[in-house]
Amino acid sequence: MKKIILIMVSLGLIGFGIYSVSTKIYFEPPMPKVTIKDTKIPTTQGSYCWKVIGMGRCVDKVYASPFEMGQEHTPVAVQPNSKIDIQFNSEPLPGSLVVEEWVNENTSDNVEIKDNKITVPSQKGIYIYHITSNWQQEIAVMLFSIEIE
């Protein structure tokens, strides 16, 4: 009888360990791989709400605006009219990917997304891109910046 109890407790501890590891791995939304040709563009994790196996959390990132948040990394230099590829290892729900282009604190426009790609403007300047996407586990925001030379 003691062996059975010991086996049950051991299995319970192993199961709890696997559950704990899996929730830590997937307790945050996937970050996108943002690239231009072979160059990776660093992204900043924004606010999100995420649920895993009945548990969830919301994290608010404190910034004055998406424009300020997007300046966390040095902008990556790109050529005018280049295409930027945005890929997730876990695809968002269809139609939920939204990208806004910020040129200053007060000015933003939605950007057309085609085949997970956006086209940057032709005018020189620094541009911040604000990505919002949804999964069944809720919503996440990410940002990146570029400089058109």
Q: Kindly report, residue by residue over 57-90, the tens digit of the pLDDT.
A: 888 876 667 878 888 889 999 999 999 999 998 8
Answer whether 0.85 is exceeded by the pTM: no
What SS3 string covers the chain?
CHHHHHHHHHHHHHHHHHHHHHHHHCCCCCCCEEEECCEEECCEEEEEEEEECCEEEEECCCCCCHHHHHHHCCCEEECCCCEEEEECCCCCCCCCCEEEEEEECCEEEECCCECCEEECCCCCEEEEEEEEEEECCEEEEEEEEEEEC
Annotated domain spans of the chain: 29-148
CATH class of 29-148: mainly beta
Q: Kindly report, residue by residue over 104-135, the tens digit of the pLDDT.
A: 888 889 999 999 999 999 999 999 999 999 98
Average pLDDT of the segment spanning 133-146? 87
Which pLDDT does position 9 carry in this prediction? Answer: 63
Q: Kindly report, residue by residue over 3-47, the tens digit of the pLDDT.
A: 777 676 666 657 655 555 544 445 678 889 999 998 999 998 888
Which pLDDT does position 22 carry in this prediction? Answer: 47
